[in-house]
Structure 1
Amino acid sequence: MSHSDSESDQAGVPLIEDFSGLDALAPKTSTHPSKRKRDDVDDDTQAPIESKRSKKKKKQTKKPRDVSDEALDIDNGVNHAIRHMDPSLLADHIAQRTKRFQPDLSLVEAEDIRIPERAITDTTSFPKDRKTDEFPAFLEAFAGEQRNSKRGKKGQPGGLANASKDPGSPHTLVVAGAGLRAADLTRALRKFQTKDSMVAKLFAKHIKLKEAVEMVKKTRMGIGVGTPQRIEDLLEDGCLKADRLERIVVDASHIDQKKRGILDMKETQVPLVKLLAREDLKEMYASGAKEGKGRIELLFF
């Protein structure tokens, strides 16, 4: 149990005072009835305290209303509801959580970081569950005609296993909720890695930002995998470039043992939305890209 869990549990335990010393104040002619009456008073005054604190604890751990336990597969770590969400539902799903995690945003601020429906690619046609081992097939299914038609030179693989000669310029960015999950996805995508096109893990607890910057500056990568904040930091530094980027894939279906995914936790959803709402990315999302500029597809796995 984590320290924060422990504090949360403590917050829900009522503080019960010992009123036994007050028995001496009761009239001696009717000890038992008075004691019973005092007990009744204590119970009545204590009940609202327990009820109030119990409600507070429940409020702290309450799940979003649109989360159904029936859709949560703990054994496989998958929220099956995501695969059935079209762009409109996904846009609303994200907006609801933004409102929940950032309730003080003004209407203008909320609109500025809202991910529009037109930016999201519809992936509901993918017939398989969103399990880790199906991720490569998912990428291939939505890589786009341009990427799938590319062929490698001199016997080298093309498609998703191809990379720009410019270091730090991936065609695909995968956004995961945690470092360990990023490592799992990196391993799952190794089939797309060659000596000239890395599947690069952009985040790990033992890799500091400075080290990651140096790694990105000298690495030819076709696919980069990282957490929202790390990818944001690398883009801000300039070592990670978006000019060759064709798609951003959010690992949205994966859930942990507490039934939480990247969209369900403030510490991951808020930086994710900040990343996706970057001006340099928003103006390149597929449906809104200007003529002559690169186009970025936004997919939710």
Structure 2
Amino acid sequence: MSRTKKAARKQGKSQKRKAEDDSEEPPAKAQKVSEKPEARTKTPHQGEPAQHRSVSHDESIAKRDPALLADFFAQKVAKHYGDTTIIEQQDIGIARDWILDTTEFDQPHIAENLPAYLDKFVEGGRDALTTVDADGTPKALIISPSGIRVADVVRELREYTTATSKVGKLIAKHQKLKENIDYLSKTKTGIVVSTPARFRDLVNHGALKTSSLVAVVIDASYQDEKRRMLTDMAEIFKQLIEFLGQDSIKTRLDDSHGATLLVF
């Protein structure tokens, strides 16, 4: 074949290939392996202080009078103890006579307002909450639904810490039960903040004495990141009922000169 024919054939193939290339869509750009994945929306870290997290609350709970609160708790008992009879539910409920009317409190039920709430409604006020006679005999117990909330509440109660009385922070997730028992046996605590299960266990072990108790506060208005209150969580609510049903706690709440139940 002559050089002229070879050149013509080569040129024809080149033109045909170019026409085919022009008729195709340009290939999609391949994603580089090194490219970073799309950023995900971050949720608040559970260990973050409250001032750096969005903390919500429900005012409708604490704004009820004792009769409405007793009815509210009865509804929660019926919901979370659905496998029990009505008679059994009445035995494990929260008595109306235990509950103190705090409807006149006109501030939001958030942790930073808890000191004003305690000063107003705890018998003896701040003097009573900072005057402790013996180790392990607190004047007030504050029941919160989680360790995160316990830490937030204690942070707002630092002003109750004195040279002779402390605010106890008992977090079950980070502290062993024995550590809490040892702490209470060596420390005068006017106020102790913890979860219902840990309070229950401390009473069972005799580490938490109730002889000086004047107030039991349920941290009921607080909502977690899923907008659940303590009364919405079946396991936590049942632990609360178990704690309040312990003989030493129940006896103190039944006594007209003993302790009152506050719903914050």
TM-score of Structure 1 vs Structure 2, range by shorter chain: 0.7 to 0.9
What is the TM-score with the length of structure 2 in the denominator? 0.76
Whichever residue aligns with residue 278 of structure 1, its letter is Q
Q: CA deviation at 1:89?
A: 1.1
Q: Of 159, 164, 184, which aligns to 1:196?
A: 164
Q: What SS does structure 1 have at the residue aligned with 2:232?
A: coil
Q: CA RMSD in A?
A: 1.7
| Cα shift at 1:242 | 0.4
What secondary structure is seen at the aligned counterpart in 1 of 2:242? Answer: helix
Maintained 8 Å contact 1:232/1:275: yes
Query: After superposition, where does 1:109-128 map in structure 2 within 5 Å?
Result: 109-128=88-107
Matches within 5 A, 1:122-141: 122-141=101-120
Aligned residues: 212
1:237-276 matches, cutoff 5 A: 237-276=205-244
In our comparison, the structure showing a higher alpha carbon Rg is 2
Contact kept in structure 2, 1:163 and 1:171, CA below 8 Å: yes
Which amino acid letter does the alignment assign opposite residue 178 of structure 2? K
Could you give the per-residue CA deviations for residues 38-74 of structure 1, whole angstroms, max 9, x where no partner exists? xxxxxxxxxxxxxxxxxxxxxxxxxxxxxxxxxxxx9
* Residue of structure 2 in register with 1:207 after alignment: 175
Q: Mind listing any 5+ residue stretches in structure 2 that lack a counterpart?
A: 1-52
What is residue 131 of structure 2 aligned with on the other side? 162
Q: Are 1:180 and 1:204, in contact at CA under 8 Å, matched by a contact in 2?
A: no
Conservation of the 8 A alpha-carbon contact between 1:83 and 1:129: no
Q: How far is the alpha carbon of 1:75 from its aligned partner?
A: 5.0
Structure 1: gaps spanning 5 or more residues: 1-73, 151-157
Q: What CA distance in whole angstroms lies between the structure 2 residues aligned with 1:111 and 1:280? A: 19
- Which amino acid in structure 2 is aligned with residue 196 of structure 1? T
* 1:100 maps to amino acid: K
In structure 1, the residue matched to 2:83 is: 104
Paired residues of 2:112 and 2:156 also in contact (CA < 8 A): yes
How high is the TM-score relative to the length of structure 1?
0.67
Q: What per-residue deviation string (whole Å, max 9, x for no partner) do you get for residues 180-224 of structure 1?
A: 101111111110111210100122422011111111111111000
Quick check: 2:210–2:252 contact (8 Å CA) kept in 1?
no
Task: Give me the whole-angstrom Cα distance separating, in 2, the residues matched to 1:75 and 1:239.
Answer: 35
Greater than 3 Å deviation, 4+ residue runs: none
State the alpha-carbon separation in 1 of the partners of residues 154 and 144 from structure 2: 10
What secondary structure is seen at the aligned counterpart in 2 of 1:235?
helix
Give the Cα–Cα distance (whole angstroms) in 2 for the partners of residues 107 and 235 of structure 1. 28
* Identity level (%): 36
Q: Residue 296 of structure 1 corresponds to which residue in structure 2?
A: 259
Partner of 1:89: 68
